[in-house]
Amino acid sequence: MNIRAFHIEDSDKLAELWYQNSIKAHHFINKDYWASQKQAMKEKYLPMADTYVITDQGGIQGFLSVVDETLAAIFVDVAQQGKGYGKQLLEFIKGKKDRLELKVYQKNQPSIDFYLKNGFELTGESLDEDTMEKEFILEWKK
Protein backbone atom coordinates (compact mmCIF):
# COMPACT_ATOMS: atom_id res chain seq x y z
CA MET A 1 0.00 0.00 0.00
CA ASN A 2 1.12 3.50 -0.80
CA ILE A 3 -0.21 6.92 0.21
CA ARG A 4 0.37 9.84 -2.12
CA ALA A 5 -0.94 13.31 -2.79
CA PHE A 6 -4.09 13.71 -4.88
CA HIS A 7 -3.66 14.31 -8.62
CA ILE A 8 -6.35 16.12 -10.61
CA GLU A 9 -6.73 13.03 -12.81
CA ASP A 10 -7.91 11.14 -9.69
CA SER A 11 -11.03 13.35 -9.49
CA ASP A 12 -13.52 11.07 -11.27
CA LYS A 13 -12.48 7.98 -9.29
CA LEU A 14 -12.56 9.81 -5.95
CA ALA A 15 -15.92 11.46 -6.63
CA GLU A 16 -17.43 8.07 -7.51
CA LEU A 17 -15.83 6.43 -4.46
CA TRP A 18 -17.21 9.26 -2.28
CA TYR A 19 -20.68 8.89 -3.80
CA GLN A 20 -20.88 5.10 -3.39
CA ASN A 21 -19.69 5.33 0.22
CA SER A 22 -22.02 8.22 1.03
CA ILE A 23 -25.16 6.41 -0.09
CA LYS A 24 -24.09 3.26 1.79
CA ALA A 25 -22.98 4.89 5.05
CA HIS A 26 -25.71 7.53 5.06
CA HIS A 27 -28.70 5.42 4.05
CA PHE A 28 -30.86 7.70 6.23
CA ILE A 29 -30.34 10.57 3.73
CA ASN A 30 -32.00 10.48 0.30
CA LYS A 31 -29.43 9.39 -2.28
CA ASP A 32 -30.58 12.21 -4.58
CA TYR A 33 -28.88 14.58 -2.13
CA TRP A 34 -25.55 12.80 -2.60
CA ALA A 35 -26.00 12.74 -6.39
CA SER A 36 -26.61 16.50 -6.32
CA GLN A 37 -23.29 17.01 -4.50
CA LYS A 38 -21.09 14.77 -6.66
CA GLN A 39 -20.00 17.45 -9.14
CA ALA A 40 -19.13 19.88 -6.33
CA MET A 41 -17.09 17.16 -4.64
CA LYS A 42 -15.13 16.61 -7.84
CA GLU A 43 -14.65 20.22 -8.91
CA LYS A 44 -14.61 22.17 -5.65
CA TYR A 45 -14.03 20.18 -2.48
CA LEU A 46 -11.30 17.76 -3.58
CA PRO A 47 -9.08 20.46 -5.12
CA MET A 48 -9.52 22.94 -2.23
CA ALA A 49 -8.46 20.42 0.44
CA ASP A 50 -5.20 18.64 1.11
CA THR A 51 -6.23 15.28 -0.29
CA TYR A 52 -4.27 12.03 -0.15
CA VAL A 53 -5.06 8.71 -1.81
CA ILE A 54 -4.14 5.20 -0.73
CA THR A 55 -3.27 2.82 -3.53
CA ASP A 56 -2.24 -0.77 -4.01
CA GLN A 57 -1.74 -2.96 -7.06
CA GLY A 58 -5.48 -2.68 -7.69
CA GLY A 59 -5.36 1.11 -7.91
CA ILE A 60 -6.93 3.72 -5.64
CA GLN A 61 -8.62 2.11 -2.63
CA GLY A 62 -9.47 5.21 -0.61
CA PHE A 63 -8.74 8.82 0.20
CA LEU A 64 -8.85 11.46 2.87
CA SER A 65 -9.15 15.23 2.71
CA VAL A 66 -8.17 17.79 5.32
CA VAL A 67 -8.69 21.53 5.45
CA ASP A 68 -6.38 22.97 8.11
CA GLU A 69 -7.21 20.85 11.19
CA THR A 70 -10.57 19.59 9.91
CA LEU A 71 -10.77 16.03 8.64
CA ALA A 72 -13.30 16.76 5.91
CA ALA A 73 -13.45 13.30 4.35
CA ILE A 74 -12.13 9.79 4.72
CA PHE A 75 -13.54 7.15 2.42
CA VAL A 76 -12.44 3.63 1.51
CA ASP A 77 -13.82 1.64 -1.43
CA VAL A 78 -16.88 -0.25 -0.19
CA ALA A 79 -15.36 -3.57 -1.30
CA GLN A 80 -12.12 -2.85 0.61
CA GLN A 81 -13.53 -1.77 3.97
CA GLY A 82 -12.25 -3.56 7.05
CA LYS A 83 -8.83 -4.22 5.51
CA GLY A 84 -6.92 -1.42 7.24
CA TYR A 85 -6.92 1.22 4.50
CA GLY A 86 -8.86 3.75 6.60
CA LYS A 87 -6.62 3.23 9.61
CA GLN A 88 -3.51 3.72 7.47
CA LEU A 89 -4.91 6.95 6.03
CA LEU A 90 -5.74 8.18 9.53
CA GLU A 91 -2.29 7.31 10.89
CA PHE A 92 -0.71 9.07 7.90
CA ILE A 93 -2.54 12.35 8.55
CA LYS A 94 -1.98 12.12 12.32
CA GLY A 95 1.74 12.14 11.48
CA LYS A 96 1.28 15.52 9.81
CA LYS A 97 -1.05 17.21 12.32
CA ASP A 98 -1.12 17.94 16.05
CA ARG A 99 -4.91 18.11 16.17
CA LEU A 100 -7.83 16.98 14.03
CA GLU A 101 -11.53 17.70 14.28
CA LEU A 102 -14.41 16.20 12.32
CA LYS A 103 -18.16 15.94 12.19
CA VAL A 104 -19.95 12.63 11.76
CA TYR A 105 -23.67 11.95 11.50
CA GLN A 106 -25.05 10.58 14.76
CA LYS A 107 -26.82 7.80 12.81
CA ASN A 108 -23.51 6.61 11.31
CA GLN A 109 -22.49 4.31 14.16
CA PRO A 110 -19.78 2.35 12.27
CA SER A 111 -17.88 5.58 11.56
CA ILE A 112 -18.31 6.83 15.11
CA ASP A 113 -16.92 3.53 16.39
CA PHE A 114 -13.97 3.77 13.96
CA TYR A 115 -13.02 7.26 15.12
CA LEU A 116 -13.40 6.48 18.84
CA LYS A 117 -11.29 3.33 18.40
CA ASN A 118 -8.61 5.47 16.72
CA GLY A 119 -8.17 8.03 19.47
CA PHE A 120 -10.87 10.62 18.78
CA GLU A 121 -13.05 11.95 21.59
CA LEU A 122 -16.58 13.31 21.48
CA THR A 123 -16.47 17.08 22.08
CA GLY A 124 -19.88 18.34 20.98
CA GLU A 125 -22.90 18.15 18.75
CA SER A 126 -24.13 20.13 15.76
CA LEU A 127 -26.79 20.07 13.06
CA ASP A 128 -25.99 19.70 9.36
CA GLU A 129 -28.14 22.47 7.88
CA ASP A 130 -28.14 20.84 4.41
CA THR A 131 -29.60 17.51 5.57
CA MET A 132 -31.09 18.52 8.94
CA GLU A 133 -29.30 15.54 10.48
CA LYS A 134 -27.64 15.70 13.90
CA GLU A 135 -23.87 15.29 14.02
CA PHE A 136 -21.25 14.60 16.63
CA ILE A 137 -18.10 16.68 16.73
CA LEU A 138 -15.01 14.57 17.44
CA GLU A 139 -11.46 15.66 18.15
CA TRP A 140 -8.05 14.03 18.22
CA LYS A 141 -4.93 15.58 19.78
CA LYS A 142 -1.36 14.33 19.50
Rg (C-alpha) for the chain, rounded Å, is 14
> Which backbone phi and psi does 107 adopt, to 5 degrees?
-85, 0
Task: Enumerate domains of the chain plus CATH numbers.
Answer: 2-141 (3.40.630.30)
Helix (H) or strand (E) segment spanning residue 76:
strand 70-76
Residues of the chain with pLDDT under 50: none
d(CA 20, CA 101) in angstroms, rounded, equals: 24
pLDDT at residue 106, as a whole number: 97
Full-model pTM: 0.92
d(CA 55, CA 60) in angstroms, rounded, equals: 4
d(CA 80, CA 106) in angstroms, rounded, equals: 23
HSE-up of residue 117 (Cα within 13 Å, Cβ side): 9
pLDDT at residue 1, as a whole number: 85
d(CA 106, CA 136) in angstroms, rounded, equals: 6
